[in-house]
Structure 1
Amino acid sequence: MGTRQVGNAALPLMNTVIMKGVPILQQLQIEECLLRTSSHNWCIINDGTDKPNIVMGISGKAGELVEITPVLQDKIPVIRRFTGGGTVIVDDGTIFVSFICNKSDVPDVQPYPRPIMSWSSLIYSKVFHGTSADFKLRENDYVFGVRKFGGNAQSITKNRWIHHTSFLWDYKTRNMSYLKVPKRAPEYRLARDHLDFICPMKDYISRSDFINKTIDATKTHFALSSTELPSNFQFTPTSKLLSRVELEAAANNESRG
């Protein structure tokens, strides 16, 4: 908490942590602990994760969202995270950016998913300004034109919220085959398969430029302070790895349905 005078304005403070290759389950668990136990604002950036993982929203059903047989054969971890949103497959080509904010420090942002996404889209519109990218927020996604490159999810508590995004800087075509086309898809998807629906950021911006510009754009809202993560959390996070038994049961339920 707290503010710092910047020019004529007193901006709220935000701790920033930049990581590289941290396992996505570990990142999600850290973020939930910060949301629930910290009183500070945080910006967490993780440049890639160590290996492919499928990450579902808190209410996601594996049987409806994941091609379970090849996932089990290829030993792709499936995680249920603590936030809402859709299903993604992430790997070393994914860049993760998370904002954890006190509602009182962003009083102009109504604490609901759409206003939060609209607020964050203003940050990323600055990031892509000056590039050839046709950046937009469409429904719940960040897109270039009509193709998605960033998926968003939130969790909103009494006094705080988290908004996190998985950005596809690049992706492996094979990995997309592990995901089913969800029954509830955004209208603009128009029943396109994954490879016609998504696109990489690498055609428009380098990884380092994206991270540096994201930090610079965040400075228009917060006074940033680079810091280390707390080392000991007194909290048990809820994001978890699904077991083989759970995945097999989901597959059986789907086949019966």
Structure 2
Amino acid sequence: MIIPQTRNIGLPMMNLMRFKGLPILQQLQIEEQLLRTSSENWCIINDGTNDPTIVMGVSGKPAELLEIESVLRDQVPVIRRFTGGGTVIVDNGTIFVTFICNKEAVPDLQPYPRPIMSWSSTLYSKVFQGIGDFNLRENDYVFGNHKFGGNAQSITKNKWIHHTSFLWDFDVRNMAYLKLPKRAPAYRSARGHLDFICRLKDYMPRSIFIDKTVEAAGTQFSLRSLKSEAIETCSKTEFCPSTRFLTNEELEAAAVAGQ
């Protein structure tokens, strides 16, 4: 169902879908399907996911990134997503924002990782104008020296996707499931998780952040809001996503191989 919305004449059209508590596996599979099969531009905002879940990049190695024994003991689900980027544990305190765009959607934007990251930081600078010391540091969104947003991308022949997990809040205990990555941004300076990240809620109310993100997207695109029923239409398209849960057997084998 389409919700009528004011159009910005001359800007490329973008479908906007907003969810609350959509399971992160379902969100990622929807995004993968839209990237592979849709000819339209999309913005997806998911306000939290109910169950704590670890999400790894497409090439991530569990033995290097996870405290596998603790993950298995506590039965924390682990997803391998279809995009690159790092590992994060997400839950109800995480806000997800995704842009899926045709290569010609943003004028003069070269479809490569660095230009896309730069474009995204310009968009979010509108969201955080006058709030904190917002910046893009390497591939992270930070306030000062502390990360609150992690990014991942995938670029295909005709489209690209840029999605972000924003740490509006987080449970300190969940960070113990993640190892310090061997490859880390230089500005991290070997800091532990809790010295490296910060909470977006200390800077901005949750609903204001989401509203400002939609407003910022509306300066670049003519937004058309779709209700979640539109996903049912997408799901009818035959598509086999690569994003999936890792099995306990796979995690156990990774732990043995990593010893």
- TM surpasses 0.5: yes
Residue number in structure 2 paired with 1:169: 168
For 1:252, give the aligned amino acid: V
CA distance in structure 1 between the partners assigned to 2:65 and 2:193 by the alignment:
12
Structure 1 unaligned segments of length 5 or more: list them. none
CA distance in structure 2 between the partners assigned to 1:207 and 1:71 by the alignment:
29
CA distance in structure 2 between the partners assigned to 1:177 and 1:5 by the alignment:
46
Do the aligned partners of 2:19 and 2:45 also contact (CA within 8 Å) in 1? yes
By how many angstroms is 1:46 displaced? 0.2
Cα deviation code 1:174-220 (max 9, x no counterpart): 00000000000000000001000000000110110000000000111
For 1:242, give the aligned amino acid: L
Residue number in structure 2 paired with 1:190: 189
CA distance in structure 1 between the partners assigned to 2:16 and 2:56 by the alignment:
25
Residue number in structure 2 paired with 1:84: 84
Matched, 1:237 2:241: yes
CA distance in structure 1 between the partners assigned to 2:142 and 2:111 by the alignment:
23
* Local SS of the residue matching 1:106: coil
Greater RCO between the two (CA within 8 Å, min separation 6)? 2
Do the aligned partners of 2:42 and 2:99 also contact (CA within 8 Å) in 1? yes
Residue number in structure 1 paired with 2:75: 75
CA distance in structure 1 between the partners assigned to 2:222 and 2:45 by the alignment:
16
CA distance in structure 1 between the partners assigned to 2:61 and 2:23 by the alignment:
22
Work out the number of aligned pairs and report it: 249
Residue number in structure 2 paired with 1:253: 257
Matched, 1:146 2:150: no
CA distance in structure 2 between the partners assigned to 1:5 and 1:49 by the alignment:
30
Please, what TM-score do these two structures have when normalized by structure 1? 0.95
By how many angstroms is 1:60 displaced? 0.2
Residue number in structure 1 paired with 2:125: 125
* Local SS of the residue matching 1:32: helix
By how many angstroms is 1:230 displaced? 3.3
By how many angstroms is 1:170 displaced? 0.3
Structure 2 unaligned segments of length 5 or more: list them. 1-5
By how many angstroms is 1:237 displaced? 0.6
- Percent identity among equivalent residues? 68
* Local SS of the residue matching 1:20: strand
CA distance in structure 1 between the partners assigned to 2:184 and 2:128 by the alignment:
26
For 1:213, give the aligned amino acid: K
Residue number in structure 1 paired with 2:136: 137
Matched, 1:223 2:227: no
CA RMSD between the two structures:
1.1
- Using the TM superposition, name which of 149-158 and 230-239 deviates more: 230-239
Residue number in structure 1 paired with 2:3: none
For 2:237, give the aligned amino acid: F
